[in-house]
Each structure stands twice: as structure tokens, then as C-alpha cells.
Amino acid sequence: MKTLTADKYKRLRIPDAKPQQVFAYANNGDGSITLTVIEAERKEAFPRGSLLKYLTPERDKEQIGILSACVPAPLKAE
């Protein structure tokens, strides 16, 4: 049996845990706790080609117009 000690921020370091791994915490009421690994379904954030509908020449002109109103013009060399 391995033992772990919480630091002053109530954190534990689980040696076998992977980065960004999520655990469910259950207090059993008898002084023991149970940690269960949660397996989240991961899907692709943006499937290939799904953002092409936002990349149009009309949209580009609109965005450049908005940007030019927000950003000052470059200084001219005299």
C-alpha cells in the first residue's frame, strides 16, 4: 500500500496519474475516500473543412474594415 501526504494547499501527487487526467472523488463516510478515473470522450474540436464557410472574400473585407477602425495607421517617415 502506498501512502500520500497532502500539502498545505490540500493537494496530493498521484505518481501514476497522467497530465490532465480527471478523477471522481467519493467520501465513503467511514474515513476513507475513493478516487475513480473519469474517461471523457474526446472529439475533434473542428473537423477538417468545417471552418471554410467563414473564410470568404466578403468576410475578409468586413474584418479588415473593422480592424482599420480599431488600429491607428502606421507612422509616416518624414
Number of compact structural domains in the chain? 1
Q: Is 63 inside a domain boundary?
A: no
Q: Is 1 inside a domain boundary?
A: no
Owning domain of residue 34: 9-40
- Beta-carbon contacts of residue 51 (< 8 Å; ≥ 6 apart): none
pTM of this structure: 0.45
Question: Rounded distance, CA 62 to CA 74, Å?
Answer: 20
Kindly report, residue by residue over 5-52, the tens digit of the pLDDT. Answer: 999 999 989 888 999 888 999 999 998 989 999 987 777 777 887 878
Q: Is 20 inside a domain boundary?
A: yes
Rounded to the nearest 10 degrees, how much is the dihedral formed by the CA atoms of 58, 47, 24, 8? -60
The candidate with the shortest Cα–Cα distance to 14, out of 27, 28, 3, 25, is 3
* The three three-digit cell numbers of residue 44, written as one number: 475533434
Q: Is 46 inside a domain boundary?
A: no
